[in-house]
Structure 1
Amino acid sequence: MDQGKLFLKTKNLSLLLVEDYEPLRRDMTELLEDLFLTVESASNGEEGLQLYKEYHATHNDKFDIVISDIQMPIMDGIELSNAVLKLNENQQIIILSSHTDSDYLLRLINLGIAQFIPKPITSEILFNVLERVSEKILKRGEVLERVARISLSEECFWDTEKLLLTQNNETIYLTRHELLLLQLFVSKSEQICTNEDMMYYFDTNRVDLNEKSVRNLVFKLRKKLPEKVISSIYGMGYKFCPLNSIDS
């Protein structure tokens, strides 16, 4: 894979590298900084997770790609991947692995991670994997650009770009906490959103709410939305079910 061609696909993307071996982390960081708009690096999973949260808080966005070693002190690559996927289930994660990591790899595959780079790392394999992942991100971005509006009913719409809720062409005003909660439900459309998901989400967004406050927030948000858009799943949580996930 030609580095110049790869740069055309990665130049606007951000990347987090988590690797405990300092010489490899340094060399990879220098290489990746020539390809990506933003590159951050960490020496273990705990430090990497903190950087991931700080980046989100600062940029109101997630890293496009996370590259992580498996075996690291304090927090390993499996724990990091699991924590990151709870924050962003669509996160693209690339795992650096050795041939002795077979048990770890199986656990990562069960998490849905399919991109692995064997050690020792070669630039050819690294570039090929980065190309595949970058293309996937760019294609998904093209789809998201076309999906500007979610139909909650025939008269009620959620604008995913302007973050506006409208009904009969009139704006329905949401509080900051209601807005955050609706964004969470939209990101987990047609999936069960548990109380733990909501508590974790608010915590990572630095919002201090207890379980009772979150339940009250769900109640208030449901009153502003069409009936049955947010349905209760007994003993589990809630499910966001728009009339039409993609309004074209």
Structure 2
Amino acid sequence: MDQNRLKSIINITKKLSVLYLEDNVDVRNQTLKMLNLFFEDIEVGTNGNEGLTLFKERNKYESTSFDLIITDIEMPEIDGISMINKIREFDKKIPILIFSAHSRTDYFLKTIDAGIVGYILKPYNIEQISNSLEKLIEKEDLSYLNEHILVLEHGFIWNSEKNTLYKNEEIVKLTKSELKLFRLFSNTKTALKSYDDIEIYIFGDITSNTKRVRNLMSRLKTKLDFDLFESIYGHGYKLKYKKN
């Protein structure tokens, strides 16, 4: 995996809170070295019973609950599949990855029934973990966590690092004024931009009417075949972000 893709994955995963469960101390320590590359908040348990306790404790408060669970299958006290089934009684949606030495069909079927999103066989490496996390990001639509990515309505994505607008992964060609418009709005995600703000930033001066701004918005709407900027009558515009 190239460094740009890896960096893009890490930009997202570093914002996730992870519960990691593994009973083998050597495997646990080795895996943590790799996971620490991707995550800054990792809670560690050694069996399914500890996993349930840690999950329930965190789950008391929505602001601190886990975003992802990574677990082995065969563990003492409560095995991984039994733990997952119990967790599913509280949370049907939390993504769960399995890191396991078992490739038997019955294990696969049980984990599918438990609603897991990925299965990596031991021994694994950085690339395998990266690929699984990349698929997780795509499947769970976590791209909005990338500090450079703004997920907009109607399938549009603005990459502020590359100053590029995408629609269904295809680059949308923008004029200089249109590029400046997106840069202005991406600086403050939820802010309303007044007509004066837009004129000064894009044209360098202010006129006595809003015609230049309205013409710019109208041409962009025609190009995109979608009105991506919401007009707030008498005030200005807001960029339309995807509602989570």
With the shorter chain as reference, the TM-score category is: 0.5 to 0.7
Name stretches of at least 5 consecutive residues in structure 2 with no aligned partner: 146-150, 154-242
Aligned residues: 149
Name stretches of at least 5 consecutive residues in structure 1 with no aligned partner: 147-246
Aligned residues of 2:100 and 2:120 also touching (Cα < 8 A) = yes
Going from structure 1 to structure 2, the CA distance change for 1:11 and 1:25 (only over 3 Å counts) comes to same
Going from structure 1 to structure 2, the CA distance change for 1:104 and 1:89 (only over 3 Å counts) comes to same
Going from structure 1 to structure 2, the CA distance change for 1:86 and 1:12 (only over 3 Å counts) comes to same
AA in 2 matched with 1:20:
D
1:21 maps to which of 20, 24, 36: 24
Q: Distance in 1 between matches of 2:66 and 2:117?
A: 18
Counterpart for residue 97 of structure 1: 100
Counterpart for residue 76 of structure 1: 79
Aligned residues of 2:14 and 2:38 also touching (Cα < 8 A) = yes
More displaced stretch, 121-130 vs 106-115: 106-115
Counterpart for residue 109 of structure 2: 106
Aligned residues of 1:96 and 1:119 also touching (Cα < 8 A) = yes
Aligned residues of 1:20 and 1:44 also touching (Cα < 8 A) = yes
After superposition, give the CA deviation of every residue in 1:125-183 in whole Å (9 maximum; x if it has no partner): 111001111333344868x998xxxxxxxxxxxxxxxxxxxxxxxxxxxxxxxxxxxxx
- Alpha-carbon shift at residue 4 of structure 1 (Å): 2.3
Going from structure 1 to structure 2, the CA distance change for 1:132 and 1:140 (only over 3 Å counts) comes to same
Q: Distance in 2 between matches of 1:37 and 1:138?
A: 20
- Alpha-carbon shift at residue 102 of structure 1 (Å): 2.6
Q: Distance in 2 between matches of 1:99 and 1:43?
A: 18
The alignment's TM-score, normalised by the length of structure 2, stands at 0.54
Counterpart for residue 37 of structure 2: 34
Please report the RMSD computed on the Cα atoms of aligned residues, expressed in angstroms. 3.0
AA in 2 matched with 1:39:
I
Are 2:114 and 1:117 aligned? no
Q: Distance in 2 between matches of 1:39 and 1:100?
A: 26
Going from structure 1 to structure 2, the CA distance change for 1:114 and 1:34 (only over 3 Å counts) comes to closer
- Alpha-carbon shift at residue 115 of structure 1 (Å): 0.9
